[in-house]
Structure 1
Amino acid sequence: MAKLFLLLFTLLNSSFLFSQENTLGNEYCQIQLISTEKSPSVNPPIKNLDKEQVTLLEIPAGKSRLRLNCRLDEQGVFTFGNDEILDVSWEALEVKLVPLAASSPSFLLPTGTFSIDFVFLTHHNYKQNFVWEPIVTFLNASLLNNITMGVFYGLCLTLILYVFFMGRVVGDTRFQFYSLYVFCAATFFLLQEGQLNIFLQQQSFLLSHQFYLLFAGFTVFTAIVFIVRLTDLNTTWPKLTRYGLEFGAVVVLLMSVLMLFLNHNELSALLGSAMARVTLLLMLGILTLVSIQAYRNVQSAKLVLLSLVLMVIAMVFRTVLHDVNPFLQRYSLIIAFAVEAFMLAVAVSERIKSIQTDKILAESQANTDALCNVLNRRGWDKKVNEILSEQKIKGGVICLLYIDLDNFKQINDKWGHDTGDKVLKVVSDIIRNQLRSIDSIGRVGGDEFVALGIFYDRTEAENLVIRIQKRLQAVSLHIDKQKTVEVSASVGHVIYEEPPKGAEVMLSQADQSMYQIKRASKQG
């Protein structure tokens, strides 16, 4: 008996489950284009929406009415992209349709059998994507999308601030154009992906298609201006970039501004089409010129070229191969831009590093005596002030030596100025070899050198003075392996255990000390 009841229970349970599965299997959603602006009455085939699958439907330009027919046992979500839609409205007489706060137009579908009409307004023919999915699937996908886009916006903000302030440091406005470009592009994607829909009312101007196209224009304009300057196109082809690329970018920007004031009509559709075509021509033009610059090994051109190629591939997936992979169709352009922005930031960093290197080299050359490769008067004054500041903070003993070659005019008269220059180079090397690596040497006159160091005590400073005086007391220099030139020098010095009054006072006192030694040597 027990086995009989168990068998009966099993059969009833199986029958219930089969009935439930059969009922759920009868759920459906269908989408149909029922009228267009040019054809008030059409009878195209009905497209079934497979649950959790993207369904594409060809939508003509102008105003189109679509009908969604559903029979649901469980609530679901109906959603579609709004990249190409200028305006959308709906009519649901049989049921209450609840719009959801989401990045793309999304609606909570009730249970039962019902029909809903949607009216789309578009500029041109395109394939519209539709999705019917369970609530849990929709929430998970929305969460993943918002997190992904949040990371993307965070990356953009980081790059904007990094390059902007680096550009301010080096004083180069080209890098501020990069920050402006990334800002415009990030705003363009923010409007395209619809994260603002979650926070703003649907009627807000900030969510309008015109505002979206405005930032498309700004993105094209700032990208052209930045890339032209980063890859030196404006110096290589000044007229072509000014009257071709930059003028074209201005035209695209002006068309996007003009479309702010136009409602849907033939003129706005024409402007939208023209804007797309001019943008394509600009991309081809700048891709060609950057390719030539990359071939010529112009700095940063190869990185820029690679980033442009990535963007072109992404646009192909976005516009032509949209049936290949839904993920790539949605995120390829965003991923490509993120990679492009990062690569351009690397290119900018390389250019900043080059500018800094050139600046350091120019600063070094401005502070260095070209003949002897020691500090000149400008560099010397700067170094003295650094040593004085160090003594005030850390203490120590400063030693300044003033070195003047004896009878150097006679060397020039006898052997010539070329030999005289070589003598100066050798003498500067001799002095440098007697100094520590942290000490400094400079040339402040024709045959006058100075050496400076800061020491722990007076004895160390005096030892340096004695060492250089002995080394320069009498020197035989072999010039060009043919001439032997006898050289000597008068070495004056001053030692400061307390900070002196200034660099000029130090130099004057050391100079006086040198002349005293020179006079004493002549009298002796």
Structure 2
Amino acid sequence: MGKGDPKGATRWRGWLLLAALTACASLRAGALEVARLPTPAEPAQVLSGQLDGQFQVRPVAVVQEVSHQPRWWRVRTSARVDTQSEPLLLLDGPYMTRVEAWTPGAATPTRHAIYGDDMDLRYSSRALAIPLPQGLPAGASVYLRVSAPGAVPMAVSVQGRDEVHRADLIYVAWRTMILSAMVVLALLALAFWAGVGERSFAFLALTLTCAALYIAAMGGEMRGIPWLDALFGQDPRATRVVGCLGVMASNVFMRMFLDLRRQAPRIDRILHWLTLAMGATALLNLAMDRGEFAMLGNLLLVLSALAVFAAGAATSLKGHRAARFLLLSWLPLIVMCILKALQLMGFIAGASWLTHALAASFALAGLLLTIGLSDKLLQLRRDRDHASRQASTDPLTGVLSRGAIERRLKEEIAIVQATGRPLCVAFVDIDHFKGINDTHGHHVGDACLSYIGQRVRNRLRTQDLLGRYGGDEFLVLMPDTALADGAARSEQMLAAVNCRPLSIDGLLVAGSLSIGLAQLRAGETAQQLLARADAALYASKAAGRDRVSSELSPQANAQARA
């Protein structure tokens, strides 16, 4: 880097600034010592300093109370904290933790919680904010009496009031965006379920709803809604049960989304039993408030996440399109769920960012899975339409099958009865078709059917319909066509076939048609109409073939009298 390289100088200054900020952050974190008193004690004993020697220093600045009984914690600073910035002691991510705090110079404790009477609405629910009006002299201690039914880890820090308010604004904006996205996605999934009747959308909606409730309960957003405040802010079991229901709904959704019963039956059975175990855990949590049941739920969450990942990987290797959406959407969520569960079980200390990352990964997974499920339904619709086309199309000639042309005939008759417009039908039979098969073989006969079908179709209008009725016989529907116009179009079909031989595998095969034509009469059924067209067809054959006969032609009348 030369002396005149301003970009290089700017780059170095940036790295130095980052290093300085990192060092300051480390210095501030290292300035706080967090210790716990393992046994209960009276306030007078603790505040007088008699029990200071019994406090057990923690390796990191994190408060995580696992006892159901209140315990004493001590926060001590090795560097002076002055009053200029109006400092606050923050306990990040408290959930249902309640704290009584004795700060230096205060005669009475202050009480703090994000739920109930002790919540402080001047600050967001991201942390308990304990004012330090006199600052903290070097070596001074803040004593905390902590009641934590949820046993959540809370990172401890000291920040100025302005810094806290800025962080609160960012936190509220972020949480509002994430929770709003999850609610919108849940409503969208419900709308899809109501619209298309696909049960997968219902379980996805339930998963997202439970996730939103769980995240909002853990983050404290429920405190703004009175009855939800009472439900989720007084007893941790409500949040645990919602979490269990969310995992159960997620497992069922994954089994349906990946079609695991057929694609990976072993993993499907594993997820089935994990879902039942989670249901039993939810019932146990309802019955008793025990930390062991919360640990069991976290363990089942980790196992379910691993099973879902294994299912996605296994089905993806088989070319399952939906599995790719799953791996893309679920992998960040799986990682965050596992890390959060490990944090709640005490294996990871601090990492307050996990709460926000978990919420964001839920929203991202919900969005991508909604897109994936919509893509899956679209693919199923394409497959259904393709199967429907195959069922309604004759595979040899490419024209409508007999069932399809008969259905269309009934629809056209209903239109005629409603509007009074004319309708003609024509039976078309290939002359001497058996002789072609016997002389040249069935492969030539099949090609003959296909070529003649193409020639006849080329003489029809867009609204006319052509179907293979059986063997070498075709049925033509001509809507909005009177008998005279139908006869003219039938002559065109006749000419399209007998004008030149068919060239098949080097052979020239002469072809001609016999056609019987009839127009629908008032009050007539499809069977009656086809019977008259069939009689006209036999009249054409009796008169020497290669011709068109209608219900009004002399040969058709003679055939009818016979």
Q: Identify the TM-score tier after normalising by the shorter chain.
A: 0.7 to 0.9
Q: Quick one: structure 1 residues 508 and 307, their matched pair in 2 at CA, closer, same or farther if it must change by over 3 Å? A: same
Name the CA distance, whole Å, in 2 between partners of 1:133 and 1:201: 34
Three-state SS of the structure 2 residue aligned to 1:204 is helix
Q: Which residue of structure 1 aligns with residue 238 of structure 2?
A: 211
Q: Which stretch of the first structure deviates more once superposed, 187-196 or 347-356?
A: 187-196
Three-state SS of the structure 2 residue aligned to 1:372 is coil
Please report how far the alpha carbon of residue 356 of structure 1 lies from its aligned counterpart in structure 2 after TM superposition: 0.4
Return the match for 1:262 from 268, 288, 291: 288
Q: Which residue of structure 2 aligns with residue 196 of structure 1?
A: 222
1:197 alignment partner AA = R
Gaps of 5+ in 1: 1-28, 48-54
Q: Tell whether the 8 Å contact from 1:180 to 1:222 is kept in structure 2 after alignment.
A: yes
Pairing of 1:368-447 with structure 2 (within 5 A): 368-387=393-412, 398-447=423-472
Name the CA distance, whole Å, in 2 between partners of 1:261 and 1:104: 30
Pairing of 1:110-259 with structure 2 (within 5 A): 118-122=145-149, 126-129=153-156, 134=161, 141-142=167-168, 144-167=170-193, 171-200=197-226, 204-207=230-233, 208-242=235-269, 244-259=270-285
The one-character-per-residue Cα deviations of 1:244-301 (angstroms, maximum 9, x if unpaired) are: 22212321232133122223xxxx2222223222322332233233223223322221
Three-state SS of the structure 1 residue aligned to 2:293 is helix
Pairing of 1:46-125 with structure 2 (within 5 A): 56-62=61-67, 63-66=70-73, 80-82=91-93, 87-88=97-98, 90=100, 94=108, 99-101=119-121, 103=125, 118-122=145-149
Q: Quick one: structure 1 residues 276 and 105, their matched pair in 2 at CA, closer, same or farther if it must change by over 3 Å? A: same
2:330 matches 1:308: yes
Name the CA distance, whole Å, in 2 between partners of 1:457 and 1:162: 51
Name the CA distance, whole Å, in 1 between partners of 2:498 and 2:462: 23
TM-score (norm 1): 0.76
1:88 alignment partner AA = R
2:294 matches 1:272: yes
Three-state SS of the structure 1 residue aligned to 2:501 is strand
2:305 alignment partner AA = M
Q: Which stretch of the first structure deviates more once superposed, 389-398 or 445-454?
A: 389-398
Name the CA distance, whole Å, in 2 between partners of 1:215 and 1:259: 10
Name the CA distance, whole Å, in 2 between partners of 1:394 and 1:142: 70
Name the CA distance, whole Å, in 1 between partners of 2:503 and 2:330: 61
Q: Tell whether the 8 Å contact from 2:301 to 2:337 is kept in structure 1 after alignment.
A: no
1:510 alignment partner AA = A
The one-character-per-residue Cα deviations of 1:278-335 (angstroms, maximum 9, x if unpaired) are: 32233223323322322332222122122232124435775488767x6x43421111
1:514 alignment partner AA = L
Name the CA distance, whole Å, in 1 between partners of 2:529 and 2:192: 39
Q: Tell whether the 8 Å contact from 1:156 to 1:338 is kept in structure 2 after alignment.
A: yes
Please report how far the alpha carbon of residue 68 of structure 1 lies from its aligned counterpart in structure 2 after TM superposition: 8.4
Name the CA distance, whole Å, in 1 between partners of 2:232 and 2:338: 28
2:512 alignment partner AA = S
Q: Quick one: structure 1 residues 446 and 273, their matched pair in 2 at CA, closer, same or farther if it must change by over 3 Å? A: same
Q: Tell whether the 8 Å contact from 2:62 to 2:349 is kept in structure 1 after alignment.
A: no
User: Percentage identity across aligned positions?
Assistant: 19
Gaps of 5+ in 2: 1-30, 43-50, 112-117, 137-141, 546-553, 556-562
How well do the aligned residues superpose, as a CA RMSD in angstroms?
4.1
Please report how far the alpha carbon of residue 357 of structure 1 lies from its aligned counterpart in structure 2 after TM superposition: 1.0
**Number of aligned residue pairs:** 478
Name the CA distance, whole Å, in 2 between partners of 1:258 and 1:125: 20
Please report how far the alpha carbon of residue 226 of structure 1 lies from its aligned counterpart in structure 2 after TM superposition: 1.8
Q: Tell whether the 8 Å contact from 1:103 to 1:198 is kept in structure 2 after alignment.
A: no
Q: Which residue of structure 1 aligns with residue 386 of structure 2?
A: 361
Q: Quick one: structure 1 residues 72 and 254, their matched pair in 2 at CA, closer, same or farther if it must change by over 3 Å? A: farther
Q: Tell whether the 8 Å contact from 2:92 to 2:154 is kept in structure 1 after alignment.
A: no
Q: Tell whether the 8 Å contact from 2:154 to 2:350 is kept in structure 1 after alignment.
A: no
Q: Tell whether the 8 Å contact from 1:475 to 1:488 is kept in structure 2 after alignment.
A: no
TM-score (norm 2): 0.71
1:289 alignment partner AA = A
Q: Which residue of structure 2 aligns with residue 518 of structure 1?
A: 541
Q: Quick one: structure 1 residues 418 and 30, their matched pair in 2 at CA, closer, same or farther if it must change by over 3 Å? A: closer
Q: Which stretch of the first structure deviates more once superposed, 357-366 or 389-398?
A: 389-398
Q: Tell whether the 8 Å contact from 1:34 to 1:67 is kept in structure 2 after alignment.
A: yes
Q: Quick one: structure 1 residues 203 and 300, their matched pair in 2 at CA, closer, same or farther if it must change by over 3 Å? A: closer
